Amino acid sequence: MKAMLPGSAADADKPVVLGEVAEPEPAAGEAVVAVEAYSVNRGETFQLDGGLDRRWAGWRPGKDVAGTVVRAAADGTGPATGTRVVAHPPAYGWAERVTVPTANLAELPNSVDAVTAAALPLAGITALRLLRAAGPLAGRRVLLTGASGGVGHYVTELVAASGADLTAVTATAERGAQLLQLGATELVTSAADATGLYDVVLESVGGASLPAALARLEPGGLLVWFGQASREPVTLDFFDFFKGPNQARIAHFDYTAADTTYGQDLTALVRLVAAGRLHPEIGTVRDWSRTADVITELRGRRIRGNAVLTVG
């Protein structure tokens, strides 16, 4: 079976290479999915270059896939053979076939194609769970940094639909233009340029962005820290809290912390897409032989939205 294997972290031109691997053998409660499309997440590019300490022996990338069940779970759980699905395996999805726990699968209706579905799992699940962590948002002011990323795109649409007033922070006005169409009420290129104070701040950039966003928080407000896309460390001064966000709270967010099964959230995302209430942004669709090129472009921020590769 063909699969994308990690390349050399020292060779930027070959972050992955196509190679041969053994057929996947499902454990109890796992189905085998023939992959039709997968998307590349920024976190996976960090793993490939050694930037995250999550590469275990035999690790291969691939957490967001869509395809067809070709071997149903032996214990009778999950969808039957022949069912179209979207899936969120822990890894190994950039391949012709992958095993997936049935608790991490959702069936696809005919109205949702594999390319669209492949853009949903990690970013969509993160967005759903992030909003749950933030609490009720109707009528509240929300500041979102790193808004032009995959998670930010979904968060913008979901927050706007909840009745909140959302200010989106993006590196450039061009990268954030579509967020206004999705319901953002204001677009700025720095958290420091945001006007007024906010009940909730959703922070994903790190570095200088987090203290700047904290300064825009209402007294007693909530800052949810869910990423560090800049890969720059954060420095906070305790006394800065007395300059405005007195008694504010900072909460660290990890989408895997509360629940490591994802089927229910995937089902909700598919339902929203099918109903026309959620619109994945597909920045590029290419044959999976171009995966290395796509990773290079993602690292250079030359792709806006999700990068989806088709397996044929």
- CATH number attached to the domain at 124-252: 3.40.50.720
pLDDT digits 0-9 by tens, 246-279: 999 999 999 998 788 999 999 999 999 999 999 9
pLDDT digits 0-9 by tens, 188-205: 999 999 999 999 999 999
Residue 52's pLDDT band (cuts 50, 70, 90): low
Domain boundaries, the chain: 2-120+280-310, 124-252
- The burial class, CB within 10 Å (0-12 / 13-18 / 19+), for 21 is middle
2-120+280-310 and 124-252: identical CATH topology: no
User: Contact at 8 Å (CB) between 54 and 47?
Assistant: yes
Residue 228's pLDDT band (cuts 50, 70, 90): confident
Q: Which residues, 6+ apart, have CB-to-CB distance to 108 below 8 Å?
A: 66, 84, 85, 86, 114, 117, 270
The yes or no reply on domain 2-120+280-310 and CATH 3.40.50.12170 is: no
Q: How far is 189 from 169, CA to CA, in rounded Å?
A: 5
pLDDT at 302: 86
The average pLDDT across 169-196 equals: 92
